[in-house]
Amino acid sequence: MARGGPIRTSVGGSTADTITVAGHDLVDDLLGKISATELLYLEIQGTLPRPEQTQLLNAMIVSLAEHGMMPSVIAARMTMLGAPESFQGALASGLLGVGDTFVGPSANVGRMLQEEAQEFEGSAAEKAERLVAKYYDQKKRIPGIGHPHHTIDPRAEKLLAMQRELGVADEYVTLMLNIHKAAIARRGSHLTFNATAAVGAIASDLGIEWRAIRGLGLVARSIGLVGHIYEEMRKPIGRAIWNLVEDHTEYENPV
């Protein structure tokens, strides 16, 4: 046994003859039988998802994967320009920007619903009111609420509609909708229920712990980044991006 204790994992193991993933034989039980999305759920949760859970997971991944020329896409393309020899380097470079600004908020919604709101007693409406009051007292921004352009976020609406149609448990979405309502009441004007809120709440309803929501976002973004990196190999625009930025940069001496 190692000094730091035993080295045990339940995610995956291999012998000379078999690979096991969370209790399932890779070749006999999984290969040809499950999708990439079901495997992701199995990796995180240790059990296979039900069909409606898979549908929601797919919808969340699709909603997060591709948003056009995002900062992480620019990073990946700059890295490909400098190191065209390494696909994985460009992908890693892009994924490193999938942090607190763009994917973190969904996980923060999850934490707020799974932990912070649970510290209060009462119905969903009561928990929501107390939570919103606490955020206002502490002058903290409520994650998942507000949007720069829109009064309605069509991705959020679609995800919520899917969940309703599929009839899955919606405890956390209900709580989040109550938080949304309480926040509007506090502020006295409209606030948008955005895609971040939908992803954080629906993932919570699927039983995904808030810390794992980041993993979901990262797999989604890896799909979008692979598309951009492969396009950069065939029709490079990295040098044009670099030149554009360089031409608009002014150097000035430190004061």
* Cβ distance to a copy of itself smaller for residue 11 or 185: 11
User: Between residues 74 and 184, which has the closer beta carbon with respect to a copy of itself?
Assistant: 74
**Which residue, 117 or 219, has its beta carbon nearer to a copy of itself?**
219
* Token pair for 185: 């009441």
Minimum CB separation of residue 24 from a copy of itself in Å reads 9
What is the layout of strands, in order, in the sheet containing 19-21?
12-14, 19-21, 24-25
Nearest to 166 by CA among 195, 196, 202: 202
H or E stretch at 12: strand 12-14
Contact between 119 and 113 under an 8 Å Cβ cutoff? The reply is: no
CB of 103 or CB of 124, closer to a copy of itself: 103
Q: What six digits make up the tokens of 116?
A: 């912070």
State the minimum distance, in angstroms, from the CB of residue 94 to a copy of itself.
8
Which residue lies nearer to a copy of itself by CB, 145 or 225?
225
Whose Cβ is closer to a copy of itself: residue 101's or residue 123's? 101
Considering the complex, what minimum distance in angstroms separates the CB of residue 175 from a copy of itself? 23
Q: How many CA atoms lie less than 13 Å away from 245 in the CB half-sphere?
A: 8
| Helix pair 210-234, 104-111: axis angle to 10 deg | 170
Matching residue, tokens 């400098």: 82
Beta carbon of residue 240, minimum distance to a copy of itself (angstroms, whole number):
3
Cβ 188 to a copy of itself, closest distance in Å?
Answer: 26
Report the residue number, 93 or 114, with the smaller CB distance to a copy of itself.
Answer: 93
Please give the helix or strand (H or E) that residue 58 lies within, else none. helix 51-65
The number of residues in the chain equals: 255
Q: What is the closest distance, in whole angstroms, from the C-beta atom of residue 64 to a copy of itself in the complex? A: 10
Q: How far is the CB of 249 from a copy of itself (least distance, A)?
A: 4
Token output for 59: 């919808």
Q: Which residues of 98-119 are buried (b: 16+ CB within 10 A; e: fewer)?
A: beeebbbbbbbbbbbbbeebee
**What is the number of alpha carbons within 13 Å of residue 131 lying toward its C-beta?**
31
